[in-house]
Chains A and B, each alone.
Chain A
Amino acid sequence: MFGLNEIIITLFNGISLGSILLLIALGLAITFGLMNVINMAHGELIMVGAYITYVIQNLFVNYAPPEYFDLYFIISIPVALIVAAGIGMLLEVSLIRHLYKRPLDSLLATWGIGLILQQTARSIFGAPNVGVTSPSFLTGGLEVGTLFLPYSRLFILGLSIVCLFSIFYYFYRTASGRRIRAVMQNRQMAECLGVSTRKVDMLTFAIGSGFAGVAGCALTLLGAIGPTIGTSYIIDAFMVVVVGGVGALFGAVTGAFGIGILNTVFEYVTNATLGKVLIFVVIIAFLQWRPSGLVMSRSRSLD
């Protein structure tokens, strides 16, 4: 029924969507998975990353020699990371810190923050979408036979893998990452051993937020950006974490690519509307089988 090329292209688009979801979900896997904070402003941190890229692009257009234009993107990634992380840190210190024991309340409060950030962007940059010109090394694509694989999508795939491994390396191979895991697993014990849990909370949240900034930077490669760019992906990204199971990178990876590929396939076979419905049905069905997601964690406490 479907040609091989179509199957491969659909799969590729699925993997590409999966990699975007993964990039977004990595940040969530940290703030939600490890800290149990539903940061509804995560989507707006993505938006911040995207607008930073836009601003830096404009700075290059106006002040840098044209031959250096492509550099703007290389510079944008770390800047987006740092700014988003900074906002995240501020958010943790001023707000989320007071709400750790009330996850539903932190959800509502961060939603409020998200609204404010969105409106701020609207006030500064206007409501209409703005375009970011992709750097020349990411325009065009790889031609394999009759297939055309855009560099921008390949780049996002690569970026998500790099981010995944750097998170993995940080959490499992460095002293600072170990401290974070220690605090998330047993707060009191870590405290007794002299770990400053306040600093760790702040750092963890900042890292999770920083990755949202990187994701926003990557999204500029795919099209115009607007104040609500984050919200369109954020629910799917939360689904990734729910399906993947909490606090496990492996779960997030499987969840992201699973949802990404299924989404694309469903939309290809039916249409965009039914595809969305089907994916929700599949997620609900999946949760009948694995209510706590792919990766389960046991706890000994009652509530």
Chain B
Amino acid sequence: MQNTIYQKLLSRRVIFSLIFLLLLAAPLFMSDFRLNLLGKFLAFAILAIGLDLLWGYTGVLSLGHGIFFGIGAYCMAMYLKLEATGGTLPDFMAWSGMSELPLIWLPFQYPIIAILLGILIPAVVALFIGYLTFRNRISGVYFTILSQALVLVVVTLFVGSQNLTGGTSGLTNFKTLFGFQVNSASTQTAFYLITVVVLGLVFFACRKLIKGRFGKILVGIRDGENRMRFLGYNPSAYKTFIYTLSGGIAGLAGMLFVLQVGIISPTMIGIIPSIEMVLWVALGGRGTLIGPIIGAVLVNAAKTGFSESYPDIWTYFLGLLFVLVVVFLPKGITGLFEKWSDRRKKQDVSSSVEVEKSYS
């Protein structure tokens, strides 16, 4: 009898709700500085969920999520920049000799449009690339390589278009959003809370999506794409959809990131950040939704702790982490936890238990 109560207490739903509540309550017991850091990590966690939907569930590895994240961030940053300059031309444009606002900046005067575009543009870019590659059954490592080339191209474009994007220094020096001072403690707390809520929404929406038959189809595509064709499915459509969705989620994460960090530049979205995102998912545990969140928070917390004081050691550590996770911990931290709880169950319950599905 005690076992069942114990298990109920430990059931996923209860654990998730507790974590969520704890995150919501964090402003009560955390310093502004730490809260801001946590908010940044949680923005990364949102991206990681989308990335895992694509990699962990559908088997498509993208090394290019940095750019979707980046496009979202830039969309938000463009609005903030315009808001900060108060109708005049942003400084870097004036420096590159422009006299009026370029056409593509115009929509970003309006916050709602900027926010919508921050999700839509990355999603459309993903839709376009996904359609053109998956339609031709370019998959596996080929897609992965192309996705990395995409990063190179977009970053080159952002760096090269100094007059439109601020070049290597990116966009920064923001002042207000909807009239609120972006840097004030209360606004930052609000941004943090919004990030937590968005994380919760993304998490539960994705959970709903993969819990049902749809999730089984994704796993089917991951484990046997061609077999799925002979069951009457068109995997290309599913993969394109998930890629698009995950691109949009990354854009959303990018917007929340820029609000809390106050700067976005090409180095934050390039090849190395993009592949680090994959590490978050791998360490946390691909093919689960909670794993990517754990991974994103852990890796970034470690990075913040380490890399400022010992950047060299951090790079070694990061490299080693890639190797160790892949070789010894392919299912990540949640895999460890699952193994542990399976063992518990076997000891606790003598009768046959429903086999824990690896993707739930």
The answer to whether A and B touch in the complex, with CB atoms under 8 Å apart, is: yes
- The listed residue (B141, B152, B312) touching A107 by CB distance below 8 A is B141
In the assembled complex, A61 has its CB within 8 A of some CB on chain B: no
Q: How far is the CA of A8 from the CA of B150 in the complex (A)?
A: 30
In the assembled complex, B322 has its CB within 8 A of some CB on chain A: yes
Closest to B311 in A: A119
In the assembled complex, A283 has its CB within 8 A of some CB on chain B: yes
Q: How far is the CA of A103 from the CA of B318 in the complex (A)?
A: 20
In the assembled complex, A108 has its CB within 8 A of some CB on chain B: yes
Query: In the complex, which residues of chain A have a beta carbon less than 8 angstroms from the beta carbon of B321?
Result: 112
Say whether, besides A95-B327, A119-B316, A303-B227, A108 and B153 are in contact (CB < 8 Å). Answer: no
The minimal Cβ–Cβ distance linking A129 to chain B, given in whole angstroms, is 18
Say whether, besides A99-B326, A284-B132, A242 and B144 are in contact (CB < 8 Å). Answer: no
Asked whether, in the complex, the Cβ of B149 is within 8 Å of the Cβ of A114, the reply is no
In the assembled complex, B14 has its CB within 8 A of some CB on chain A: no
Query: In the complex, which residues of chain B have a beta carbon less than 8 angstroms from the beta carbon of A302?
Result: 224, 226-227
In the assembled complex, B304 has its CB within 8 A of some CB on chain A: no
The minimal Cβ–Cβ distance linking A230 to chain B, given in whole angstroms, is 13
Taking A107-B61, A115-B315, A302-B226 as known contacts, 5 extra A-B pairs with beta carbons closer than 8 A to each other, sorted by chain A number, are A104-B61, A106-B326, A116-B320, A276-B153, A284-B146
Residues 125-155 of B contacting A (Cβ, < 8 Å)? 129, 132-133, 136-138, 140-142, 144-146, 148-150, 152-153
Q: 1/0 per residue A115-153: CB within 8 Å of B?
A: 110110011000000000000000000000000000000
Q: 1/0 per residue B259-292: CB within 8 Å of A?
A: 0000000000001000100110010000000000
Asked whether, in the complex, the Cβ of B224 is within 8 Å of the Cβ of A287, the reply is no
Asked whether, in the complex, the Cβ of A280 is within 8 Å of the Cβ of B150, the reply is yes
- The listed residue (A36, A113, A115, A273) touching B161 by CB distance below 8 A is A273
Asked whether, in the complex, the Cβ of B318 is within 8 Å of the Cβ of A115, the reply is yes
Closest to B224 in A: A303
Closest to B330 in A: A105
Query: In the complex, which residues of chain A have a beta carbon less than 8 angstroms from the beta carbon of B325?
Result: 108
Closest to A241 in B: B145
Q: 1/0 per residue A187-230: CB within 8 Å of B?
A: 00000000000000000000000000000000000000000000
Asked whether, in the complex, the Cβ of A287 is within 8 Å of the Cβ of B136, the reply is yes
Query: In the complex, which residues of chain B have a beta carbon less than 8 angstroms from the beta carbon of A231?
Result: 271
Query: In the complex, which residues of chain B have a beta carbon less than 8 angstroms from the beta carbon of A291?
Result: 136-138
Closest to A120 in B: B316
Say whether, besides A38-B141, A104-B141, A123-B312, A271 and B319 are in contact (CB < 8 Å). Answer: no
Asked whether, in the complex, the Cβ of B152 is within 8 Å of the Cβ of A235, the reply is yes
Closest to B61 in A: A104
In the assembled complex, A288 has its CB within 8 A of some CB on chain B: yes
The minimal Cβ–Cβ distance linking A122 to chain B, given in whole angstroms, is 7
Q: How far is the CA of A112 from the CA of B320 in the complex (A)?
A: 6
Closest to A104 in B: B61
Asked whether, in the complex, the Cβ of A277 is within 8 Å of the Cβ of B153, the reply is yes
In the assembled complex, A87 has its CB within 8 A of some CB on chain B: no
Closest to B162 in A: A273
Q: Could you tell me which B residues sit within 8 Å of A by CB distance? A: 61, 129, 132-133, 136-138, 140-142, 144-146, 148-150, 152-153, 156-157, 159-161, 224-227, 271, 275, 278-279, 282, 312, 315-316, 318-323, 325-327, 330
The minimal Cβ–Cβ distance linking B156 to chain A, given in whole angstroms, is 5
Say whether, besides A123-B312, A276-B153, A276-B157, A113 and B319 are in contact (CB < 8 Å). Answer: yes
> Which among A102, A109, A271, A283 has the greatest number of chain B C-beta atoms within 10 A?
A109
> Which among B132, B160, B226, B321 has the greatest number of chain A C-beta atoms within 10 A?
B160
The minimal Cβ–Cβ distance linking B235 to chain A, given in whole angstroms, is 12
Can you list 21 A-B pairs, Cβ within 8 angstroms, ordered by A? A104-B61, A104-B140, A104-B141, A105-B330, A107-B141, A108-B275, A109-B323, A113-B322, A115-B322, A116-B316, A119-B315, A119-B316, A122-B315, A231-B271, A235-B148, A238-B145, A242-B146, A272-B160, A276-B152, A287-B133, A303-B226
> Which among A99, A274, A276, A283 has the greatest number of chain B C-beta atoms within 10 A?
A276
Q: 1/0 per residue A263-303: CB within 8 Å of B?
A: 00000000111101100100110011001000000000011
Query: In the complex, which residues of chain A have a beta carbon less than 8 angstroms from the beta carbon of B129?
Result: 284
Q: Could you tell me which A residues sit within 8 Å of B by CB distance? A: 32, 36, 38, 95, 98-99, 102-109, 111-116, 118-119, 122-123, 231, 235, 238-239, 242, 271-274, 276-277, 280, 283-284, 287-288, 291, 302-303
Q: How far is the CA of A303 from the CA of B275 in the complex (A)?
A: 26
Asked whether, in the complex, the Cβ of B132 is within 8 Å of the Cβ of A107, the reply is no
Q: How far is the CA of A276 from the CA of B150 in the complex (A)?
A: 10
Asked whether, in the complex, the Cβ of A115 is within 8 Å of the Cβ of B319, the reply is yes
Say whether, besides A113-B323, A302-B227, A108 and B149 are in contact (CB < 8 Å). Answer: no
Query: In the complex, which residues of chain A have a beta carbon less than 8 angstroms from the beta carbon of B146?
Result: 242, 283-284, 287
The minimal Cβ–Cβ distance linking A208 to chain B, given in whole angstroms, is 15
The minimal Cβ–Cβ distance linking B15 to chain A, given in whole angstroms, is 28
Q: Nearest 10 pairs between A and B by C-beta?
A: A112-B322, A273-B160, A115-B319, A291-B136, A116-B319, A119-B315, A109-B326, A112-B319, A112-B323, A280-B153
> Which among B133, B275, B279, B282 has the greatest number of chain A C-beta atoms within 10 A?
B275
Asked whether, in the complex, the Cβ of A277 is within 8 Å of the Cβ of B157, the reply is yes
Asked whether, in the complex, the Cβ of A239 is within 8 Å of the Cβ of B137, the reply is no
Query: In the complex, which residues of chain B have a beta carbon less than 8 angstroms from the beta carbon of A105?
Result: 326, 330
Q: How far is the CA of A108 from the CA of B132 in the complex (A)?
A: 25
Query: In the complex, which residues of chain B have a beta carbon less than 8 angstroms from the beta carbon of A235?
Result: 145, 148-149, 152, 271
Say whether, besides A95-B323, A119-B316, A280-B149, A242 and B142 are in contact (CB < 8 Å). Answer: yes
The minimal Cβ–Cβ distance linking A252 to chain B, given in whole angstroms, is 14
Asked whether, in the complex, the Cβ of B148 is within 8 Å of the Cβ of A98, the reply is no
Query: In the complex, which residues of chain B have a beta carbon less than 8 angstroms from the beta carbon of A238?
Result: 145, 148-149
Q: How far is the CA of A105 from the CA of B141 in the complex (A)?
A: 10
> Which among B141, B325, B327 has the greatest number of chain A C-beta atoms within 10 A?
B141
Closest to A279 in B: B153
Asked whether, in the complex, the Cβ of A283 is within 8 Å of the Cβ of B326, the reply is no
Query: In the complex, which residues of chain B have a beta carbon less than 8 angstroms from the beta carbon of A122?
Result: 312, 315
Asked whether, in the complex, the Cβ of B140 is within 8 Å of the Cβ of A103, the reply is yes
Query: In the complex, which residues of chain A have a beta carbon less than 8 angstroms from the beta carbon of B138?
Result: 287, 291
